[in-house]
Every structure is written in C-alpha cells, then in structure tokens.
Amino acid sequence: MAYDAPITEIEFCLKEIARIGDLQGLPGLGAYDEDILRPVLEEAAKLARDVLAPLNQTGDSQGARLEDGGVIAADGFKAAYEAFRTGGWMGLAAPEAWGGQGLPRAMALGVLEMFHAANMAFTLCPMLSFGAIEALLAHGTDDQKQMYLPKLVAGDWTGTMNLTEPQAGSDVGALTSKAVPNADGSYAITGQKIYITWGDHDLTDNIIHLVLARIPGAPTGSKGVSLFLVPKVLVNSDGSLGARNAVKCIGLERKIGIHASPTCVMEYAGATGWLIGEANKGLACMFTMMNSARLNVGLEGVGVGEAAYQAAFSYAQDRKQGKADGVSGPAPILHHADVRRTLITMRARVAAARAICYACGVSADLAHASDTPSIRATAKAREDLLTPIAKAWSTDMGVDVASLGVQVHGGMGFMSDTLAAQLYRDARIAPIYEGTNGIQAIDLVGRKLAGNGGASMRAMLTEIDETVRLARSTNDPQFVQLAERLWAASKALAEATDWMLARMKAEEQDKALAGATAYLGLAGDVIGGHFLARAAIAARSKETNFRARQIALAGFFAETSLASAPGRVPGIVESGDRFLDNSRALFGIE
Amino acid sequence: MAYDAPITEIEFCLKEIARIGDLQGLPGLGAYDEDILRPVLEEAAKLARDVLAPLNQTGDSQGARLEDGGVIAADGFKAAYEAFRTGGWMGLAAPEAWGGQGLPRAMALGVLEMFHAANMAFTLCPMLSFGAIEALLAHGTDDQKQMYLPKLVAGDWTGTMNLTEPQAGSDVGALTSKAVPNADGSYAITGQKIYITWGDHDLTDNIIHLVLARIPGAPTGSKGVSLFLVPKVLVNSDGSLGARNAVKCIGLERKIGIHASPTCVMEYAGATGWLIGEANKGLACMFTMMNSARLNVGLEGVGVGEAAYQAAFSYAQDRKQGKADGVSGPAPILHHADVRRTLITMRARVAAARAICYACGVSADLAHASDTPSIRATAKAREDLLTPIAKAWSTDMGVDVASLGVQVHGGMGFMSDTLAAQLYRDARIAPIYEGTNGIQAIDLVGRKLAGNGGASMRAMLTEIDETVRLARSTNDPQFVQLAERLWAASKALAEATDWMLARMKAEEQDKALAGATAYLGLAGDVIGGHFLARAAIAARSKETNFRARQIALAGFFAETSLASAPGRVPGIVESGDRFLDNSRALFGIE
C-alpha cells in the first residue's frame, strides 16, 4: 500500500496546536501566509506518495554501493532527487536572499515528516544539507556564503556533517583529525571519519563536507576543535568546478536499516578545507545547528510512526481471520478489538509526537523571526526545552510504534519484504544518532532545566494550566475528565521537575541523571497530552467525524499515558539512590 | 563477548521463587533430586557457551539454504546438534520409559533459557521436537509411540508442527489441506503449509511432521480438523528407514531475524500420514501441547533478553566516552548513570520474566506429577493462568530489552555485525508465533479468567498477599516500602480483574478484549513484582552482594512497574468504550 500523507492532520496540528498563525507577517518570514500552507503541503504529499514512497522498499533491498569512482545510490534515487531539487524543496525554509523561499521552519517540518514517512533513507540526504546550510548561514564569511550557499539552497550540491571518529562518538572532544594551515589561508585536513550519512553519492556533482578537526597546538578536548568546509570537488573563483579534493569514501557500513542511505567511512588525506567561524570554536558552531538537526531527527520518529500506522491500518483492513459481529464470513482483523486497540495506540502516540515537534518548530521560528525581543527570548527558551523531548520522545515512539506495526502484520511482519519489517529496522537508528536519547535526557536536565532554574519548564506548566482551564470551562464531561487527568499529570511533572532542580543545585548530578531518561519520558507524555487536549478543544467546532477523532485520541492518550503519570514519579526520584548505591553489587563498580 | 549463563540466578530463581523443591519425590519425577540441579545447569551452560553461542552470529549471517536435496543448515550447526543430541538434552524432561531422563519440566526450562540465549535459531529445532514428543505422548497409539518416541526422545530424529496456511494463521480452523483415507488405514496428505520452523534440514536422517488437515466430509471450521503424523522418510516395521515420503520443502522465507532457523514452505503431495488421536479432534490435540509450547516461547524472550543484557553490560565496560568521577582519562560508559539505569531496567525485567516462566513450569510439573488430586487441580489452574502471561509478557520484554541493548551500543548497535543488532531482529518473532500476544491476551481474559470465574487469578492475588505479609513482617524499611507498592499494585490488578469478569458476564466481550493486552501487561508486572519481592526476601540470608542485588532489582521494579500500576487501570477499564464507540470516526467501521 502507498503512503498517503495525512495532510488534514498535519495542517490542523500546525494551525491549532503549534499555532503557526503566530508567524504571519513576521519580518524574516515575509513570504508566509496561511493560504499558502495547504497548497504547499499538497505538493509535498504528491512528491512523497508518487516519487519517494515507491522507492522505499526497492532502496532497502538494493542499498547504496561503493564502486571505484565513489558511492552509487540505489536505482531511481537520482531521478527522485532531481524531482526534489527542481521542486525547490531544499530551500523551502532558507532565506530568500540565498535563493530560498523564506517560509517558516515549522512548515518545512510538516513537509519533512512526509518525506521521512515516504522514504527516510532518501530524506537523510537533504536533511544533512539543511544542517550545512544553517552552519554556513550562521558562521560562514560573506565569500563562503557567496560561493556555496546558492548551490546548496538550490539543491545543486548537498552537504554533510563529519563529527564522529571511532574513539569519538558522544564524546566529540576526543577526536584527532588534523587541520594544518596552508600558506594561502586554507587548511590541509587529514583523518578518518565514520558514520557519515550520505558522505558520498552520485546525486549531485559536488558535496560540501563540514568537518571537525584540530589545528596543531590547539587545546586538548572539546576546546581545541575547529570546523572546516571541505568540498568534494574544489570550486574555482568563478564558481565552476575544479580539481577533485583529497577526500573520499573508503567504506560503507553494513547496517540493519536505512540501507539506501550510504553510511560512509570518509578518508581525508590532506584535503583542502577552509575554517568556518573562529578557530577552536568548532563545537560551538556545531551546537548552533544541533537544535534544529535534533528536531529534524525527531520528525523521523513521527514519519516512520505514521508510515507504520498506515501500513498496519491498511493490512488490518485487508487481512481476514476469524469472525466478528456484523461481518459475514472471515472478518478483516480491524474488527477485532485488540487490533483496534493497537492501532489507536499507534495513532495517538504519533499525533502527540507530531504536536511536540511542530510546536518546537514554531518556537524556533519565533525565536528567529519575531521583532519583539521578549517574544524571541521566551520562544528560544521554549524551543530549547522542547528540542531534546522532540528528538528523544519522538524517536523512541517511532521504534515502539514500528514494533506495534510489525505485530499487527503477524507472521508477515517478520518477512524481509514487508514494509512494516523495514520500518522496524529503519526506525532503530533515530534514537541513536544526533546525540543518543540518553544524551538528550542529560541535555534536558543538565542544560535546559538547570540552565535557567527551571523557568522554561515552569512556563510550559503554565501553558498546560491554560489548557486545563479551557477544557474544564467546556463543562463537557469528556473534556472535564481530560482536564483532571492533564492536571494531575502536570502536577507530577512539576514534582519531578522540582526534585531534579534540587538535585542539580545540591550537586548530586548523578542522582538527577539516573532519572533523566524517565523524566524526559514523563515530560513528553505530559506535554504530548497537553497538545492533544488542545487539539480536541480546537476541534469542537469541526465536522463530526474529525471532532470525534480528536477527542478519541486525546481521551485515549489521557487515560493511558496521562493517567499513569503520577505513578511514574517514584521511578524518577528514587531510582538513582537505589541503584547507584548498589552499583558494587550490580555492576562491580563504585 | 561470549554468552555466559547466569547459573546462580537461574538456580536461585528455580529454588526460591519457583519453588522447584516442591517437586522432590513426586512419582513421575523420581529422578529429580535437588543435588542434581546445579550440575545439570553447569553442563548446559558449557554447551551454551562453548558450542551454541559461537555459532549464533555466523548462523545469522550465513543462514540456512535450500538446495535440490533439501535444506542445509548453517555451517557448524550439524556438529552442534550432534553435541546437543549426545548430551541427552532432547530427553531431559521426557519419560524414562521412552529413553528420557524424567526430570522436571521446570528444570528443562532453565536449560532451554540458556540455549535460547546462546542461539535462538538453533534452539527452535529441539523446541519444536519437544512439541512433537508431547503430542505423541498424549495422543499417539502404542504402536506410534513405539515407532517414533524413542528416536525423537534420543534426538535421532526431530519433529515439526504444521498448522499455518496462507489464509489460516491465527484462525487455524480456516485451513484446507486434505487427508484422504488410504486402504491400509493411513491417509494421503495434500496441501501447502507455511512458516514451518525447521521444516527441513540435514541435522538428522528423519523428521517427523505433525500436520493439521481435513478428512473429506469433515465439518467446516475448527471442528473438522485432524492431526496427522507424516514422516519425511517412511519407517519400516523393523524401525529401519524406507522410502522418501511425498513431502518436501519448496521454499524458505526471507526473514528479518532467526536466519539460521529455516522457515519452510512445505508441500505435501499425497504424502503418507497417520491419524494422531481422534478424527476431527486435531485442534484439541494441538491445544494439549499449546500451553507448553507457549511457555517455551516465553523462554525465548527471557533468553534473548539475558543475552542482550550481557552484551550491553560487556560493551558498557569496554566502551570509553567522556569523564566520570573516580576514573582517570576517558571512562567506560558503565560509569554514566543513564547507562546504568538502562542496564538495571534490562536486568530487572529479565529477572521478572524468568520468574514468571519458571513458576509456570513448576506448576506444570505439579499438575502433571503430583499424587494429590487437589494439588494437581490447583497447579493446573495456576499453569493455565500463567501461560499466556509467560508467553506474551516475556516476549514483549525480550523485544524491549533487545532494543535497549542496541541503545547502549550507540552507533555500533545499528551495525549488522553486532550481536545486539541481531538480538533486536531475532527477538521480534517471539511475540508473533505460537499465538500472537494479542491472542494470548484474549486467552487470558476469555478462557483463563472467565473460564473459572476468576478463581485462579484470585488464588494468585492470595499468593501475592502472602508475599506482602512476609515483606512487611521484616520491619526493614526497604521491604516495607516494597510491600506497600506490591499491595497497591495487587489491588489495581484485582480491580481490573473484577471489571474484566463483569464485562464477560454481561456479554460485553468486545470491551473486555479491547483492554485485554493492557490487562495482561498489568498482570505480568504485578506478578513479576511479586516474584522479585519473594526473591529479595529469600535472599536476606545470602551473602552481601547477592542480597544487595536482589533487593536492588526488586526495589527498582517496584518503584517503576509496580508504582505505576494503579494509574494504568483507566487504560484497561475505559479504553474500550472510548474507541469502540468512535470506531466509525477512527477506523471507518462500526
């Protein structure tokens, strides 16, 4: 069955939950008007359905391959990329000054979700390019921007991120690649990088690598790391392509998923590169784009989850087993209550993750484009808070929902040729890269909470209070019940937040971090439940079926994820003591 | 790293949680003595570590293959099977009268866990043979037993189960394979069967297939299905092998895991078979062995979970990233609190599943071998209750824990050659076959609860009360806290149980079944928490580290899974109303 983007759900989520309307008329987003939203989503949905989705399973079974001249993408990917490029999708949210369309990031996230759902392996290529564009926009010199940005924004060239080395994964500061200054101001980059997504390919005639390396004499650790731009093919001053640079892919990883996305081992053998931003500030440069890269990965969870839901729903309509009331002969398994339970679980969780990601995107847009400093500051804090949750909660959800999708398929779900099985394999990378979900939890507690004394989380709790108030004021029993569950869950989140802040203040960091992953899970559930409740309230004025769906999803999420929230506080605030104290007995370390 | 069986944990669990000592001296288990337990477990651990585990990853990458003459197992599997066979492992729990060792089933489960952990793909071959042995013991004629049992029990031949056809998976009654009577009392079996585990191989010179088919004129549906014994090679009356029977493997499925286990499409082209049990009672014959087959699959979850834990723990000791207090230079990631949190989550859940499975096994032994009718009846009810929980809760756990194992490995966990990645793929089948976990939940609510008006669940709640009482009576604050959490969780389970019984009585079956999976999850958590508490109490007299481990595991499980139990009742008792009422809006059906 084909992936068909849930345009109405995406539009509704952007408008009524994430409140993309707040962006209308902002200076940096001049091209945005609410009327443009639906047509753009519809165009993206066509590309997703007609071009990207049909290549998802063939790309998985064929994979990318490394030949003498470099990496060859799976069949059809080059043409698909050409359709993506000519559609102008690379520059959707890039500044108009560089050839982009200057539309909100949040809107681009709606598009990104569709592309990930249709073909995550393909979509990683543009996704990494977004990161390169952002880094250049923030830290490139004017000359660098002139030379590279128009080509990247147009999609004529793609970009990569080169951080990881075998001994330097989560601990980026441990990297050892060298950058030796040349006489002309460029650098000679030498070293090996691993896990480089779309590090080489034949979709475009040039690739712009952003590479972390050390300049001789730089301080050890993360304070001696600089960022360099290293083109695959050197660019002449007139913009034409010159000589091949001394960088190449020397191996492809064998992975359990995203087979069509070449994961490259890259060798830099004195390759010519140029410093981006200041020397030894490379990690800071990476961090400016880290938030948006993490949010983009969160969308992978949403996309894969939605694709898994659609595949399972379709299978449940077709597959006949057993009997059901009102159905003559063998009944589609959709008629069995347990299957429907599984499907609504999938759907509610996807909807919650979508809301968290889009809301984070609108905050990112406001933080960037609002002309009011206080709004920018508040929005930035909200974006920062939501980012690790969007990344980790959504990608964990993606894995769980893909697994449920396999389950709905029964034995077929375990077969290699089934889309559900592919999604289960593909989904598994997203909780790992762009900062493991454990790192996200540490970021949430260590930086996002402790960094501002909990102010941004308290602002979120106030936002939730408003939803509680609105739901109560309907005087509709279903909404009042929803309000009470959301209220109790938010009190649980507040309690856990206070405990985390107290631990960080008391410098009992280990105890806080022992509960960080469980805390992030709770925060995602409560904030997700808040957004679904907001959706249900907004849907009261919509047509009957749409309204019924929103209240069913919000109600289900409330009676499962929100109702269990208070009981999950002990697992956050007590666990650390218990197993850190017993680490000798459990793990043989103090 | 090599899998090393947790012999001490397994022995402790069998003795102190599952109470295998209750079996000592029972007539059918005359060979069992407590002194024999440890030596047998140690022998099994050697086979698991030295023979089976080294073939796990090579078997995965090579897989089984179909050639002209039949299926060839992966390299080394034939020699490994020979070691398994000569070790007498096939007949460990089989009756001495047929060449077995007459030891308790529960003890064999401890062994089975190790073999699954070391190499699940291999272990499926004997596991299916256990089922064939059991079916013959229960339903075979004396002649059939004489002819086949000694060879099966010795492991000279293996057995298979042939149920599934493309249109008949969970709905076995929909099968269409035919069995036409021959003049000599045998039948000519014709049809195609799919998903036949180890349906063909080169490990032994004969394979005994148990096949469900219809005799012409039989009633439609499940009441017209009969069970047949169909040898791959016909057996002469003197026991020597005769002509090849008209059954062969015509295809192997391409799966995402258990690659070394050939999943066969079997073609029966007028193959000669013999009726097992009565005509048209085939499903009942299958059901007699279903309970034990399901429990054996539960052990797959335990085994894979334990293997995933060991691999993750080992990796966390070796992999160095970042800094930690008390460690100079880069620290093993085991020192990071979040990693330890993940590891204890894995370990506690594996321990709970192990306890549920072994306890179910001891009940199965008592139900079979006790000389007191009332004990047999009580034990049978307990076995019946625990079986669907052992199967579904343990295999869902296996998937979740394998996924956490991948996460601990970071990027390495996504690489095809990493054991963690294999376990993530292998684990995914266990919630599907031998009755999907949704079917288990329906079985729990529809048969095991409603079948005796909740008596067996109430007996389990009484058993839990006793653990609560014992924990409280220690007057140790840690145990008192454990007792309070177990008590509150058991009240939640009681509440959900009463609701389920009321729905079934009111013939609101759909509402009950809508919550069945969530109910099974709750039951597994509460019963698992009860067993871990029992373990912690029993460990009070053990050495310091062992004692500390048991209380840490029980305490962690209590503050996470038990503490959240009361908040999960709404998701069981309310969900059905909400989404069944909204099925038109959500799913397009009434």
Judged against a pLDDT cut of 60, whether residue B435 lies above it is answered with yes
Q: B300 or B27, which is more confident?
A: B300
Question: Does the annotation mark A434 as catalytic?
Answer: yes
Among the listed residues A482, A499, A495, the one whose alpha carbon sits nearest the alpha carbon of residue A560: A482
Task: List, in order, residues 6 or more apart from A330 with CB less than 8 Å away.
Answer: A320, A321, A322, A323, B167, B171, B174
B428 and A415 within 8 Å at the Cβ level: the answer is: no
Q: What is the distance between the terminal CA atoms of chain B, rounded to a whole angstrom?
A: 53
Whether residue A321 and residue B256 make contact (CB cut-off 8 A), yes or no, is: no
Angle (CA) B239-B242-B243 rounded to 5° is 155
Q: What does the DSSP 8-state code read for residue B255?
A: B
Q: How far is CA A279 from CA A72, A180, A214, A217, A515, in A?
A: 35, 12, 9, 11, 37
Tell me phi and psi for residue B8, to 5 degrees. Answer: -65, -40
Q: Are strands A158-162 and A207-213 parallel, antiparallel or unpaired?
A: parallel
Closest approach of chain A CAs to the CA of B333, in angstroms?
Answer: 10
Catalytic residue, from B134, B434, B463, B543: name it: B434
Q: Tell which residue, A469, A585, A566, A573, has the closest CA to residue A515.
A: A573
Q: Which residues of chain A does B254 touch, with a Cβ-Cβ cutoff of 8 Å?
A: 415-417
How is B487-509 classified by DSSP, letter by letter? HHHHHHHHHHHHHHHHHHHTT-H
Q: Min CA distance, A285 vs chain B (Å)? A: 20
CA-nearest of A567, A568, A564, A562 to A519 is A568
- Name the residue type at position A549: R
All residues of chain A having their beta carbon less than 8 Å from the beta carbon of residue B324 are: none
Minimum-distance CB partner of A549 among B438, B518, B586? B586
> What pLDDT does B290 receive?
82
- Across the interface, of A338, A339, A578, the residue whose CB is closest to B552 is A578
The DSSP 8-state label assigned to residue B169 in this structure reads S
CATH 3.40.50.970 holds for A158-279: no
How does pLDDT run across A76-117, given as a tens digit for each residue? 999 999 999 999 999 999 999 999 999 999 999 999 999 999
Task: Please tell me which of the candidates B171, B410, B579 has its beta carbon nearest to residue A322.
Answer: B171
CB B374 within 8 A of CB B396: no
A399-445: per-residue pLDDT in tens?
999 999 999 999 999 999 999 999 999 999 999 999 999 999 999 99
Q: What one-character-per-residue DSSP string does B138-160 give?
A: HH--HHHHHHHHHHHHHTSSEEE
Q: Is B258 left (phi over 0), alpha (psi -120 to 50) or beta?
A: left
pLDDT-derived band at B1 (thresholds 50, 70, 90) equals low
In this prediction, residue A1 carries a pLDDT of 56
Residue B2 confidence class, pLDDT cut points 50, 70, 90 = confident
Q: How far apart are CA A312 and CA A406, in angstroms?
A: 8
| Other CB atoms within 10 A of residue B206 CB | 17
pLDDT value at A579 more than 90: no
End-to-end CA, chain A: 53
- Min Cα distance B334 → chain A (Å) is 8
Say what the pLDDT of residue B40 is. Answer: 97
Work out the minimum CA distance from B327 to partner chain A, whole angstroms.
10
Phi-psi region of A185 (alpha: psi -120 to 50; beta: other; left: phi over 0): left
Instruction: Report the gap between the CA of A563 and the closest CA in chain B (Å).
Output: 5
pLDDT, tens only, A261-281: 999 999 999 999 999 999 999
Confidence of residue B226 (pLDDT cuts 50, 70, 90): very high
User: DSSP H helical segments within B66-161, as ranges?
Assistant: 77-86, 105-139, 142-154
Question: What SS3 string covers A312-327?
Answer: HHHHHHHCECCCECCE
Residue B57 has pLDDT above 60, yes or no: yes
Q: Which of B510, B556, B582 sits opposite A552 (nearest CB)?
A: B582
Of B341, B421, B587, the CB nearest to A340: B587
Is B174 within 8 Å of A438 when comparing Cβ atoms? no
| Given A267, A278, A434, A543, the catalytic residue | A434
Which one of A170, A253, A582 has the shortest CB-CB distance to B410? Answer: A170
Lookup: tokens for B283:
């499903």
Q: What share of chain A in percent tops pLDDT 70?
A: 100
For residue A435, the model assigns a pLDDT of 95
Residue B81 has pLDDT above 90, yes or no: yes
Spell out the domain ranges in chain A.
158-279, 437-587
Assigned token pair, A91 = 């520059």
The reply to whether residue B432 touches residue A414, judged by beta carbons under 8 angstroms, is yes
Q: What angle do CA A82, A86, A91 make, to 5 degrees?
A: 110
Mean pLDDT of B131-155: 97
Alpha-carbon gap: B320 to the closest alpha carbon of chain A (Å):
8
What span, in angstroms and rounded, lies between the C-alpha atoms of A542 and B331? Answer: 56
Contact A421 B570 (CB under 8 A): no
Tokens 């013939």, residue located: B507
Residues 6+ apart with CB under 8 A from B229: B136, B140, B144, B148, B208, B209, B210, B211, B273, B274, B276
A487-525 confidence digits (pLDDT tens): 999 999 999 999 999 999 999 999 999 999 999 999 999
Put simply, whether the predicted model's pTM sits higher than 0.90 gets the answer: yes
* B479-493 mean pLDDT: 98
ipTM of the prediction greater than 0.90, yes or no: yes
For the B157-280 domain, the top CATH level (class) is mainly beta
Q: For A7-32, how does the pLDDT look when each residue is reduced to its tens digit (9 = 90+)?
A: 999 999 999 999 999 999 998 887 79
Question: How far apart are the C-alpha atoms of B586 and A309, rounded to whole Å?
Answer: 12
Q: Cα separation of B273 and A96, whole Å? A: 76
Q: Are B256 and A342 a contacting pair at CB < 8 A?
A: no
Residue of A nearest to B403 (CA): A428
Contact B570 A559 (CB under 8 A): yes
Cross-chain residue pair A411–B432, CB shorter than 8 Å:
yes
Q: Which amino acid is at A492?
A: A
Separation in Å, CA A200 to CA A86, A131, B391 = 21, 16, 46
pLDDT band at B283 (very low <50, low <70, confident <90, very high): very high
Cα–Cα distance list, B64 to A305, B193, B202, B423 (Å) = 32, 19, 10, 18
The pLDDT, as a whole number, for residue B251 is 98
Cross-chain Cβ contact B585/A515 below 8 Å: no
Chain A residues touching B338 at Cβ < 8 A: 438, 441-442, 513-514, 516-517
- Tally C-beta pairs within 8 A across A and B: 272
CA distance A21 to A70: 45
- Residue B250 has a CB neighbour count (10 Å cut-off) of 13
Give residue-wise pLDDT tens across range B500-543.
Answer: 999 999 999 999 999 999 999 999 999 999 999 999 999 999 99
Place of tokens 């469900």: B212
Mutation for B interface: A163, A220, A338, most B CBs within 10 A: A338
pLDDT of residue B292: 87
Q: Which residue of B has its CA nearest to A332?
A: B589
Lowest mean pLDDT among A149-153, B21-25, B41-45, B166-170: B166-170
Q: Is B190 within 8 Å of B241 (Cβ atoms)?
A: no
Give which of A106, A5, A109, A110 is closest to A48, Cα–Cα. A5
Q: Is the pLDDT of residue A193 over 70?
A: yes
Mapping DSSP onto H, E and C, the string for A109-162 reads HHHHHHHHHHHHHHHHHHHHHHHHHHHHHHHCCHHHHHHHHHHHHHCCCEEEEE
Q: Quick one: which of A533, A521, A537 has its CA closest to A351? A: A533
Share of chain B above pLDDT 90, in %: 94
Count the helices and strands in chain B (H runs, E runs). Answer: 19, 11
B333 touches B347 (CB < 8 A) = no
